[in-house]
């Protein structure tokens, strides 16, 4: 058997299981792509164990038994202080699929969630949804079309909807469930989970306590499957200037590689003013020779003194704009913006002040009212691998990134939107209940920022990441987005290694940067797997086409009356120039 690529290393090889009309993929402990008669009913069902900081304790697979109508996955975890053992059992009977999680905690364990979660496909957005609550009362609602900042449904005993010619009903037992819109984090799903967030957390599982939950899925066939559109055609439209392209300043430990060529036209640097490393981080970022987009995390107390120090250094560092974030909320509230504006005025420095969030679109969506109306632009970061690290999620996030970008622009009230950094893993845990590690040195021998609080991902060096990055840029580059930042300059989260050697993704960033200065050509993906964007320049229309599908695709790209077919191998991207 050939060695698996790093792109495919996020889980063990998937195993197909089928019984009657039911089928699914077993990806380690996840029951993925649950289908009936070939039509996807659920994105997944899985058991999860979260600790008090919402970190996930990974399950070990102790054994798998598969029979005609029964699948049993025996699981255990001793991570994060847990000691939980049990099984996920699947029984298929006719038009019903029953999934049970039965486990025992050997020790007392503080958890925010332990039990089953169900992921509904994001394509259900806007579909009618029938809810039965724990008291038996019924409610008619919808899966939200716009990304919902808060839970769209509470107190769930069962759900029912129609999709792709099927009537689907899901019954939940063992706890009270509720739903959240995971598209906030660029997950391609709505998630139904238990323990309601309105109850206190963490809560204790006592030694010997049993967790028993069951999800029962039933279907009825009501119509023929829907027909898809043309999966191999993309129409691009001109729409204002192509966004600036940049990367994040490296947070990796010194020494920095020497003589690196700049990547893109702007460098994003985030400085935590609570730490002693922020001056060294700013000075190192300035050596890149690029204009700086500076983001700062305010100290816990009065920020006046440290903001004055920052403001006095921004001009020499080459800053072109700046934003400040509350250290607890991770957003720009009125106090943060006012403190920053006052410091700039006292230092006689004139810079655009941006506002938004240093974390996910989630916080911008939930806390938009806190962001002052007088900021000059809106910012947010995004990571596709916050809830799960599967490559499938990485690919599926692209379609949701497009939705996020459009919703961010719609809420920006004609202000520019700046997206980034886009990173594979989260740079910090914005929902942690305990303080995260911080540097204590004045210098960067240990790094700073994400080097302490973030996670690196082995796919950073994967050749396939180049295609994903172009696809991500195509998804996010909607009219109104003025800048996109990807990854870091170098290091474990970089487009180059710690020694400065370019990784495959560096070529993608370079190709995107070469599109700056032209008119944006943008369009929708037909299926979330093939994407295109371009730049109209005097020498012609320069196109980048990305294919994150596992098969080669021939994509017909239309720009006005011009149509060209571009052959794109699997998991790659190609460039084309159409004459002026």
Beta bridge mates, 190: 120, 181
Q: Is 206 exposed, middle or buried (0-12, 13-18, 19+ CB in 10 A)?
A: exposed
Digit-coded pLDDT (tens) for 417-470: 999 999 999 999 988 878 889 999 999 999 999 999 999 999 999 999 999 999
The predicted pLDDT at position 231 comes to 84
Whole-number percent of the chain with pLDDT over 70? 99
Query: What is the DSSP secondary-structure string of 452-515?
Result: HH----GGGG-THHHHHHHHHHHHH--TTEEEEEEEESSSTTBSB-TT-PBPHHHHHHHHHHTT
Residue 385 has pLDDT above 80, yes or no: yes
pLDDT at 283 over 80: yes
Q: Please report the pLDDT score of residue 2 as a whole number.
A: 55
pLDDT (mean) for 335-364: 97
Q: What is the pLDDT of residues 238-253, one digit of tens each?
A: 999 999 999 999 999 9
- Give the whole-angstrom CA distance, residue 466 versus residue 486: 11
Q: Cβ(368)–Cβ(411) under 8 Å?
A: yes
Q: What is the per-residue pLDDT across 107-136, written as a single tens digit (0 to 9) for each? A: 999 999 999 999 999 999 999 999 999 999
**Predicted confidence (pLDDT) at residue 159 exceeds the cutoff of 50:** yes
pLDDT at 1 over 60: no
Domains of the chain listed by start with CATH number = 12-221 (2.70.98.10), 244-456+480-501 (no CATH)
Q: How many whole angstroms separate alpha carbon 431 and alpha carbon 204?
A: 19
Sequence-distant (6+) residues with CB within 8 A of 430 are 330, 359, 360, 363
- DSSP code of 249? P
Residue-wise pLDDT for 183-230, tens only, equals 999 999 999 999 999 999 999 999 999 999 999 999 998 787 777 667
The torsion angles phi and psi of 505, rounded to 5 degrees, stand at -65, -25
pLDDT at 4 over 60: yes
Higher pLDDT, 372 or 434: 372
**The CA-based dihedral angle spanning residues 335, 336, 339, 344, taken in that order and rounded to the nearest 10 degrees:** -150
pLDDT at 230: 75
Report the sign of the C-alpha dihedral through residues 329, 331, 333, 335, in that order. Answer: positive
């Amino acid at each position: 058997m050939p060695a698996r690529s790093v792109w495919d290393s996020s889980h063990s090889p998937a195993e197909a299981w089928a019984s009657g009309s039911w089928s699914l993929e077993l990806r380690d402990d996840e029951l993925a792509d649950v289908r009936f008669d070939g039509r996807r009913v659920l994105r997944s069902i899985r058991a999860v164990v979260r600790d008090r900081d919402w970190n996930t304790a990974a399950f070990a697979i102790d054994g798998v038994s598969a029979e005609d109508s029964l699948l049993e996955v025996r699981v255990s975890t001793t991570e994060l202080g847990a000691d939980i053992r049990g099984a996920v059992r699947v029984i298929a009977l006719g038009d019903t699929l029953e999934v049970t999680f039965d486990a025992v905690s050997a020790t007392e364990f503080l958890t925010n969630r332990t039990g089953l979660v169900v992921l509904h496909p994001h394509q259900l957005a806007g579909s009618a949804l029938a809810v039965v609550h724990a008291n038996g009362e019924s409610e008619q609602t919808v899966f939200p079309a716009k990304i919902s900042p808060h839970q769209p449904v509470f107190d769930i005993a069962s759900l029912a909807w129609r999709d792709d010619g099927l009537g689907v009903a899901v019954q939940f037992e063992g706890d009270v469930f509720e739903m959240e819109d995971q598209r906030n984090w660029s997950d391609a799903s709505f998630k139904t989970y238990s323990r309601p967030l309105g109850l206190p957390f963490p809560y204790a599982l006592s030694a010997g306590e049993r967790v028993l939950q069951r999800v029962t899925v039933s279907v009825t066939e009501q119509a023929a499957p829907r027909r898809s559109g043309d999966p191999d055609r993309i129409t691009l439209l001109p729409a204002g200037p192509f966004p600036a392209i940049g990367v994040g300043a490296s947070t990796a430990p010194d020494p920095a590689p020497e003589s690196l060529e700049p990547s893109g036209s702007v460098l994003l640097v985030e400085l935590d003013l609570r730490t002693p490393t922020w001056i060294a981080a700013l000075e190192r970022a300035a050596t890149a020779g690029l204009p700086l987009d500076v983001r700062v995390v305010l100290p816990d107390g009065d920020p006046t003194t440290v903001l004055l120090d920052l403001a006095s250094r921004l001009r020499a560092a080459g800053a072109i704009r700046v934003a400040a974030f509350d250290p607890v909320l991770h957003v720009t509230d009125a106090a943060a913006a006012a403190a920053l504006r006052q410091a700039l005025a006292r230092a006689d420095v004139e810079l655009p002040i941006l506002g938004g969030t240093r974390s996910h679109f989630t916080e911008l969506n939930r806390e938009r009212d806190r962001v002052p109306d007088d900021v000059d632009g809106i910012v947010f970061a995004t990571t596709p691998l916050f809830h799960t690290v599967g490559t499938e999620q990485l690919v599926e996030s692209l379609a949701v990134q497009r939705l996020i970008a459009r919703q961010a622009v719609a809420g920006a009230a004609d202000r520019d939107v700046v997206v980034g950094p886009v990173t594979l893993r989260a740079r910090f845990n914005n929902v942690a209940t305990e303080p995260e590690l911080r540097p204590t040195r004045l210098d960067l021998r240990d790094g700073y920022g994400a080097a302490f609080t973030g996670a690196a991902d082995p796919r950073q060096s994967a050749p396939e990441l180049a295609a994903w990055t172009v696809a991500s840029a195509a998804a996010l580059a909607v009219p109104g987005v003025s800048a996109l930042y990807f990854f870091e300059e170098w290091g474990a989260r970089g487009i180059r290694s710690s020694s400065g050697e370019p990784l495959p993704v560096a070529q993608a960033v370079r190709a995107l940067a070469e599109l700056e200065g032209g008119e944006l050509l943008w369009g929708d993906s037909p299926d979330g797997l093939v994407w295109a964007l371009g730049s109209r320049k005097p020498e012609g229309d320069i196109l980048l086409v990305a294919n994150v599908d596992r098969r080669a695709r021939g994509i017909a790209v239309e720009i006005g009356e011009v149509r060209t077919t571009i052959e794109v191998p699997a998991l790659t991207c190609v460039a084309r120039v159409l004459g002026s």
